[in-house]
Structure 1
Amino acid sequence: MRKKIISSAPDIMGGTPVFAGTRVPVQTLIDYLEGGESIDDFLEGFPTVTREQVIGFLEEAKKRMVAGAA
């Protein structure tokens, strides 16, 4: 069974999608990347998020984008 990467619950950050097991919104990673920061910069700023979670999120996002473009 695959480990959950993203979670969303009304009692955690008001339901904002966060990296599972943290209170770090996924949008924060997107903002870092859009701002030209690296994954390493993000991980340094948010040590509760693992590299595996970030890579898993990006792979899933890529898969959905490619599937949606077909």
Structure 2
Amino acid sequence: MIDYTKHITIDPKQRSGKPCIRGMRITVYDILSYMASGDTIEEILENFPMLNREDILACLAYAADTERKVTVS
């Protein structure tokens, strides 16, 4: 699995502290939403040329890690 910590940043002063890609204003949520709507990695990269494939994979890794940590009480 890709080390998402090299791609995902969290800054309380940016996008209300939501996880973003490399300090940009593009959030993990944005990328996951595009993918959930059916966009491919290639389509996302075409629409956001400042991103790279590892950024997209980092979003998926971040989401997987976050989901793994969810507990039901």
Question: TM-score normalised to the size of structure 1?
Answer: 0.70
Task: Give a deviation string over 1:13-64, Cα, whole Å, max 9, x none.
Answer: 1211111132101111111111111111111122222111212332454466
Contact 1:22 1:49 (8 Å CA) reproduced: no
Q: Root-mean-square deviation (CA), in Å?
A: 2.3
- Relative distance call for 1:16 and 1:63 in structure 2 (3 A) is closer
- Matched residue count: 67
Residue 33 of structure 2 corresponds to 31
Structure scoring higher RCO (CA < 8 A, sep ≥ 6) equals 2
Residue 19 of structure 2 corresponds to 17
Unpaired segments ≥5 residues, structure 2 = none
Q: Give the share of equivalent positions with the same residue, in percent.
A: 28
